[in-house]
């Protein structure tokens, strides 16, 4: 470095490097300028100055200087290394790797460059190159522990565990007998546990357990030691020893579910393989003995509820539920909700809780007990029942129970939160948001309740109010930047979906892409751990983290964000934005009076937007002044409404980028292939659309959406012109070859296939809707018949029958979809109106169908009363429905009279 400079300037160059490493950028810049006054073409100095400027956020100057430096000194490894660092800072990892390789051609044994290259190879999962680089580092510095460990981990990641074990054993051979010293015992113990996990992975179980017992004294983490030992014992079939060790682990932590599962396997009672009645009795006896041993454990009482049946389940559930109702545990229903998927258990729970409720009302205590329960026990029992009936879809009963609980104790916040959730499920989103806000006002310091309120507001499309509520728990009152910095993905997804429902594609797309950026940041965040974990020897956690990163994009939030972005791009393709010229042309066609009105409207909108921006900037500038009086400059969002995101030449090309990620990471999701079908049909990629149809049939051939796509695809193919080019003929031959293998269309035309699908699923509303839609596509003249198919559907009682009446099969979400189908696709407003009237009877709380008990109807009634002059007092509370709803249902007026 700086070898071509005189001694004085060479020392200054070293100062530049030192200043860069210690982040004293101004000092480094000053030294660089001093050298460049005498030697303006010195390549390495120009490169280092560029690297320093890059750290000062002057990127364009930085790239200019580094490229100039490289041009002046192409044979300098420093220039290439700096260029690589510049690319790495911008996450251009492939370009950075090229630069590092060029640097190594000039200086092949430079350890710093090799180390930087190995980190990038691990980040990019270039595992073959990673192994080679780590081997070169080990050969250059064999006395460095990190190089041995790095070489072993590289082989492990490259699917060569046995080689990794050999390297670790070779490393152990270089150590003294009294190694490790006291200050390195943890790191060495971690390395030994990592080696034993490698032996287990390779299948050398006997060797692994011998090694574990041999190195017991050197392993500090005794819990991990025991967990590793019991895992090996079970795999070796030494189940008795394994059972004893699991019991020892339970004495350490009797609430660890994994230990109970392991113990069940050891005694030969694995629930996954199915249990006979004798197996259930043995398991019951086992958990009873464990329950006597660990009386304070919650898990030992809860786990038997999963496998017990009938009377035994009833007794165990009663023993589990009673103390928790007395104690007042709000999460009791969440704890028991998985049992609702077990046949018959929900009915038993309903019967049990109703008996407890009856006993508490009549005698003030539980059945068979003389002791009186505190009054709150009845309230928590009603709270549980409300959630139970909500889960079963009996919203009327759920609301009556929760109202009774609120009347009993109007100061419990959880009651309002649950009522809000019930109303959301019943379809009254406005009232749900109101109740959530009421719960928030009862405890302004609770962040969770605030977040739940924001979510309800976004579900009701009250975006502006939701933003103002979210700002209460953000730093400096700048919610958007702050929530984005905190990677608050649930908020961004809910906000994006709300904007999409309202037709604001720009803002919706912006929110969805912000979530996608968070996942890119999480991927980027692993970079620092490549060196840190090797240095600190947290090897098992490091390998687990890398495996997690490899499946990161399979996470549900990423799937939602990518699917949302794809839907935005599809909608943008179907309804492209009008250019300024087109708008002017349309304006010129209008009469002069209308044109004038339109222009005035535009000017007012622009003025309003400008004023809002000014107010926002004033608020942010006021909030950016800290207590010390210093001003924090915050980056200004150049595109707050996402307008630039909509100005893409090819929306489907952008959609394809996210579609490929979904196809790679969520191949078993039906939505992935539905989106693939929609995108590829619009792109006229026939074979890719066929591939999507085949995937849909593989995942769920009886799904209504799979049927729609199948019929639509072959109907579209049938309307195509005869093939002319060689490519078209090839595509056609593939379609002809594939069609016989699709069982739904084997020796049948599309109309027959549609009829057969209808006969198989005539009792299902959504299947009937799919058949009706396809009938209108295949035979447009039979649209009345298609509408009749939907209207002839019957809302039969579901198999679940509660104590207080049957539950109907139809779901609110499905009925809304059918209403939109009748109005928008089948284009029959009268049929849509009839359907709306019918559904308003089934869903009386739904605001969409304007049910008689929905807040929409209450609000209209209140507004009519307010208009009448003879109604006496005309000063009605603001918000109509909100004030009336809360005061009548929540009894919150009682709170004002409370004294503390």
Tens of pLDDT along 180-204?
Answer: 888 899 999 999 999 999 999 999 9
Residue 884 pLDDT class (50, 70, 90 cuts): very low
Per-residue pLDDT of 826-858, as tens digits, reads 999 999 999 999 999 999 999 999 989 888 776
> Would you mind telling me the total number of residues written for the chain in this entry?
900
Tokens (6 digits) for 199: 């032996």
Beta-carbon contacts of 400 under 8 Å, excluding residues fewer than 6 positions away, are none
Beta-carbon contacts of 885 under 8 Å, excluding residues fewer than 6 positions away, are 431, 434, 435, 855, 858
Residue 897 pLDDT class (50, 70, 90 cuts): very low
8 Å CB contact between 769 and 817: yes
Cis peptide leading into 331, omega within 30 of 0? no
Would the pLDDT of 871 be above 50? Answer: no
Would the pLDDT of 435 be above 70? Answer: yes
Span 112-118, average pLDDT: 95
pLDDT of res. 196: 96
pLDDT of res. 482: 79
One DSSP character per residue, 327-380 reads: HT-TTHHHHHGGGGGSTTHHHHHHHHHHHHHHHHHHTSS-TT--SPPPTHHHHH
How many percent of the chain have pLDDT more than 90? 75
Would the pLDDT of 607 be above 50? Answer: yes
Distance CA 710, CA 744 (A): 9
Residue 875 pLDDT class (50, 70, 90 cuts): very low
CA 883 and chain centroid, separation: 35
Tokens (6 digits) for 691: 């591939």
Span 809-818, average pLDDT: 93
pLDDT of res. 613: 58
Tokens (6 digits) for 427: 């379809």
pLDDT of res. 874: 38
Q: Which DSSP symbol is given to 807?
A: E
Tokens (6 digits) for 888: 């009548």
Domain ranges of the chain: 7-183
Point out the least confidently predicted range of 46-50, 302-306, 643-647, 708-712: 643-647
Residue in the block written with tokens 């009877």: 841
Q: Specify whether domain 7-183 bears CATH 1.10.3720.10.
A: no
Would the pLDDT of 861 be above 70? Answer: no
Would the pLDDT of 580 be above 60? Answer: no
Per-residue pLDDT of 415-426, as tens digits, reads 999 999 999 999
pLDDT of res. 471: 86
8 Å CB contact between 386 and 380: no
Strand-pairing partners, residue 805, are 802
């Amino acid at each position: 470095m700086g070898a071509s400079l005189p001694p004085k300037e060479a020392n200054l160059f070293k100062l530049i490097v030192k200043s860069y490493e210690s982040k004293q950028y101004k000092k480094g810049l000053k030294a660089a300028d001093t050298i460049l006054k005498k030697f303006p073409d010195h390549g390495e100095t120009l490169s280092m100055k560029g690297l320093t400027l890059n750290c000062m956020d002057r990127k364009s100057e930085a790239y200019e200087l580094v490229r100039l430096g490289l041009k002046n000194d192409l044979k300098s490894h420093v220039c290439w290394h700096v260029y690589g660092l510049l690319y790495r800072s911008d996450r251009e990892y492939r370009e950075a790797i090229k630069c590092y390789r060029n640097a190594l051609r000039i200086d092949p044994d430079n350890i710093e460059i090799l180390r930087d290259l190995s980190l990038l190879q691990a980040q990019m999962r270039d595992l073959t190159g990673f192994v080679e680089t780590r081997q070169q580092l080990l050969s250059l510095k064999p006395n460095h522990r990190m190089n041995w460990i790095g070489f072993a981990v590289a082989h492990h990641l490259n699917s060569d565990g046995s080689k990794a074990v050999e390297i670790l054993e070779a490393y152990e051979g270089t150590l003294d007998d009294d190694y490790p010293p006291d200050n390195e015992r943890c790191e060495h113990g971690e390395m030994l546990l990592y080696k034993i996990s490698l032996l287990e992975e390779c299948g050398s179980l006997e060797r692994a357990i011998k090694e574990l017992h041999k190195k017991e004294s050197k392993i500090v983490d005794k819990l991990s030691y025991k967990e590793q030992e019991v895992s090996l014992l079970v795999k070796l079939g030494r189940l008795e020893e394994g059972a004893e060790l699991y019991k020892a682990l339970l004495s350490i932590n009797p609430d660890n579910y994994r230990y109970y599962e392991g113990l069940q396997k050891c005694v030969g009672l694995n629930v996954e393989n199915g249990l006979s009645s004798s197996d259930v009795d043995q398991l019951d006896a086992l958990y009873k003995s464990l329950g006597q041993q660990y009386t304070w454990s919650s898990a030992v009482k809860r786990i038997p509820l999963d496998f017990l049946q009938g009377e035994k389940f009833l007794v165990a559930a009663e023993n589990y539920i009673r103390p928790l109702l007395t104690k007042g545990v709000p999460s009791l229903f969440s704890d028991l909700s998985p049992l609702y998927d077990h046949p018959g258990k929900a009915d038993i729970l309903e019967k049990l809780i109703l008996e407890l409720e009856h006993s508490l009302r009549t005698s003030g205590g539980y059945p068979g007990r003389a002791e009186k329960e505190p009054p709150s026990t009845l309230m928590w029992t009603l709270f549980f029942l409300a959630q139970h009936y909500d889960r079963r879809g009996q919203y009327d009963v759920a609301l009556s129970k929760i109202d009774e609980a609120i009347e009993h104790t109007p100061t419990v916040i959880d009651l309002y939160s649950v009522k809000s959730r019930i109303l959301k499920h019943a379809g009254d989103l406005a009232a749900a948001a109101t109740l959530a806000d009421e719960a928030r006002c009862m405890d302004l310091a609770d962040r969770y309740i605030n977040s739940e309120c924001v979510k309800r507001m976004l579900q009701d499309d009250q975006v502006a109010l939701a933003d103002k509520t979210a700002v209460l728990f953000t730093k400096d009152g700048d919610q958007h930047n702050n929530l984005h910095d905190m990677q608050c993905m649930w908020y961004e997804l809910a906000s994006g979906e709300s904007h999409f429902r309202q037709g604001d594609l720009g803002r919706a797309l912006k929110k969805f892409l912000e979530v996608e950026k968070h996942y890119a940041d999480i991927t980027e965040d692993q970079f620092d751990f490549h060196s840190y974990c090797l240095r600190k020897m947290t090897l098992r956690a490091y390998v687990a983290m890398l495996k997690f990163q490899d499946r990161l994009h399979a996470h549900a939030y990423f799937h939602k964000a990518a699917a949302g972005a794809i839907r935005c791009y599809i909608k943008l393709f179907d309804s492209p934005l009008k250019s300024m010229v087109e708008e002017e042309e349309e304006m010129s066609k209008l009469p002069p009076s209308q044109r004038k009105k339109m222009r005035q409207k535009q000017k007012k909108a622009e003025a309003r937007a400008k004023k809002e921006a000014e107010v926002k900037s004033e608020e942010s500038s006021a909030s950016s002044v800290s207590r010390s009086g210093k001003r924090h400059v915050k980056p200004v969002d150049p595109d707050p409404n996402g307008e630039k995101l909509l100005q893409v030449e090819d929306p489907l090309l952008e959609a394809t980028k996210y579609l490929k990620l979904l196809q790679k990471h969520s191949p078993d999701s039906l939505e992935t292939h539905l989106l693939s079908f929609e995108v590829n049909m619009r792109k006229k990629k026939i074979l890719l659309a066929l591939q999507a149809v085949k995937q849909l049939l593989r995942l769920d051939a009886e799904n209504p959406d799979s049927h729609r796509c199948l019929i639509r695809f072959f109907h579209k193919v049938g309307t195509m012109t005869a093939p002319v080019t060689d490519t078209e003929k090839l595509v056609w031959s593939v379609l002809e070859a594939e069609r016989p293998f699709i069982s739904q269309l084997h020796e049948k035309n599309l109309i027959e296939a549609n009829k057969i699908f209808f006969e198989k699923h005539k009792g299902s509303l959504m299947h009937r809707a799919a058949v009706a839609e396809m009938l209108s596509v295949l035979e447009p003249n039979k649209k009345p018949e298609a509408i009749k198919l939907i209207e002839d559907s019957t809302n039969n009682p579901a198999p679940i029958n509660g104590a207080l009446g049957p539950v109907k099969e139809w779901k609110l979400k499905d009925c809304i979809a059918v209403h939109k189908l009748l109005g928008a696709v089948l284009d029959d407003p009268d049929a849509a109106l009839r359907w709306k009237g019918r559904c308003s009877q089934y869903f009386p709380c739904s605001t969409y169908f304007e049910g008689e008990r929905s807040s929409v109807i209450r609000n209209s009634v209140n507004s009519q009363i307010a208009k009448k002059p003879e109604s006496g007092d005309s000063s009605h509370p603001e918000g109509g429905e909100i004030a009336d709803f809360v005061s009548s249902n929540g009894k919150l007026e009682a709170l004002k009279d409370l004294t503390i």
